Amino acid sequence: MTDTSVPNHAPDGAAGPACPAAHPDAVALSGLQYQQTPFELYRELRRKHGAVAPVLLDGGIPAWLALGYAEVSYVTSHDELFARDSRRWNQWPNIPADWPLLPYVGYQPSVLFTEGAEHQRRAGVISDALEGVDQLELSQHCQRIADQLVDRFAGSGQAELMSSYAHALPMRAAVQMCGMPLDGADTEALVEDLRMSLDAAEGDDPVAAYVRVQERIQQLVADKRRSPGPDVTSRMIASPAGLADEEIVQDLISVIAAAQQPTGNWIGNTLRLLLTDDRFALNVSGGRVSVGQALNEVLWLDTPTQNFIGRWAVRDIQLGGRQIRAGDCVVLGLAAANTDPQIWPEGHVGAQVNSAHLSFSNGEHRCPFPAPQLADVIARTAVETLLERLPDIVLAVEPEELAWRPSIWMRGLTALPVAFTPVVQ
Ligand code: HEM
């Protein structure tokens, strides 16, 4: 089927072979070459392939990467053509059991992989439950969490902020939003198991950690059924949609995971910008306006979810001059779309004050309202509180020494070492 309304930003002659596996120029996304400078990868791919590039995922598995703003918007707003249930994939026979992307792509019965009316039901419950979060109260909770975390390292005059702050804070905020008391030993264990299952370090057992997370969230749902409170879990249980407990457990884990990783990297990338860019240097310690600008600029130019996997073509269709086959995987190139020269006058890429970026995706499966607002409250409070508590904070290494994580999916630093005058408490 050819839909003439599908955007076509292909370079001349780019309407290549039907199957990405057959494309001689398919670019391997798993190598280390571009991980410090993904913009160069996107520019290069756009130059060579246009708005939709044939790529190879880990293990040489073929997929398409949508790089154009119009193409990503089209894919995400036509879920009848590009759907979310990964069981449609025509590559499953080639995927090994230990494939590294399986945790993101392997089907799970959660909101993430549902479609149509079932997705509306599940996502509606999440949105309604998140809408019940009082944003002022969330900000106060985040400030308390931020203070506790800063207290742990304030006396030492130095810290590694990615693990001790940027990732630690949204994890605690999300768990507390779901109704677990912040100070319980149980909550600390859950936070540690979530960290291990989402972001395993050497020596961790992420599978065992994930089993414990499931058991703990099952317990949380059982507890809240007996004794509800003013929290996301209790509101999901009380929803007239009548979700089963297993559905609520799956979706709560999705909410916590979806909240933690990108918000942690949003905080980290914003702190990096504030600490390395002269434009923010003068009023960084007091400047609320600057913090807001930095948060916004990161979403446009250094967005946490760089690429999202993905959507699966429901039928044969053209996109960006490419022939996509039913069952092909399309990766959403959110970072590339934000910096697409087509949307920037005279090719000048910068950060706009509006929020027309695709960092929270678009369409039916986008980051559900009001999650982006809650993420903003968490990230803004985290950054502002840190700067208020440690006003003379500086990087403890040269900016060029900061290393990005070796991933084309999430953009975040491996470490953010800082120094400041020790605070005696
Ligand atoms: C409080 C914080 C957050 C919560 C509770 C949250 C929640 C969620 C949930 C439940 C989904 C699944 C939606 C669905 O499949 O229907 C989702 C998707 C997503 N979220 Fe968020 N999120 C948060 C923060 C963020 C941040 C900070 C970013 C990036 C800057 C982000 C970007 C995304 C993206 C790109 C998707 C994928 C949408 C797609 O499939 O098209 N989220 N989020």
Q: Which atom of ligand 1 is nearest to the CA of 113?
A: 15
CA–CA distance, 18 with 3 (Å, rounded to integer): 16
Residues 6+ apart with CB under 8 A from 227: none
The CA 359 to ligand 1 mean position distance, Å, reads 9
The segments of the chain whose pLDDT lies below 70 read 1-22, 31-33, 281-289, 346-349, 351-353
* Predicted pLDDT at 343: 87
* Predicted pLDDT at 186: 83
* Predicted pLDDT at 194: 86
The CA 360 to ligand 1 mean position distance, Å, reads 6
Q: Dihedrals φ, ψ of 415, to 5°?
A: -155, 150
* Predicted pLDDT at 336: 96
The CA 20 to ligand 1 mean position distance, Å, reads 28
Residues 6+ apart with CB under 8 A from 266: 295, 298, 299, 304, 375, 379
- Tell me the pairing of strands 329-332 and 61-66: parallel
Nearest CA to ligand 1 atom 3: 259
* Predicted pLDDT at 164: 96
Q: Judge if the beta carbon of residue 360 lies within 6 A of ligand 1.
A: yes
Q: Judge if the beta carbon of residue 126 lies within 6 A of ligand 1.
A: yes
Give the DSSP H or E segment for 64. Answer: strand 61-66
The CA–CA distances, whole Å, from 311 to 27, 63, 84, 110 equal: 19, 10, 5, 15
Nearest CA to ligand 1 atom 2: 259
Q: Residues 206-246: pLDDT tens digits?
A: 888 889 999 999 999 999 999 999 999 999 999 999 999 99
Angle of helix 185-198 relative to helix 206-226, nearest 10 degrees, comes to 140
- Tell me the pairing of strands 322-324 and 317-319: antiparallel
* Predicted pLDDT at 18: 42
Nearest CA to ligand 1 atom 15: 112
Q: Judge if the beta carbon of residue 311 lies within 6 A of ligand 1.
A: no
Q: Judge if the beta carbon of residue 113 lies within 6 A of ligand 1.
A: no
- Tell me the pairing of strands 52-57 and 27-28: parallel
* Predicted pLDDT at 7: 56
- Tell me the pairing of strands 82-83 and 317-319: unpaired
Any idea which residue has 């370079």 for tokens?
Answer: 11
Residues 6+ apart with CB under 8 A from 298: 266, 269, 270, 273, 304
Map out the domains of the chain with their CATH numbers: 1-104+306-355 (3.30.43.20), 133-302+359-425 (1.10.630.10)
Residues 6+ apart with CB under 8 A from 12: none
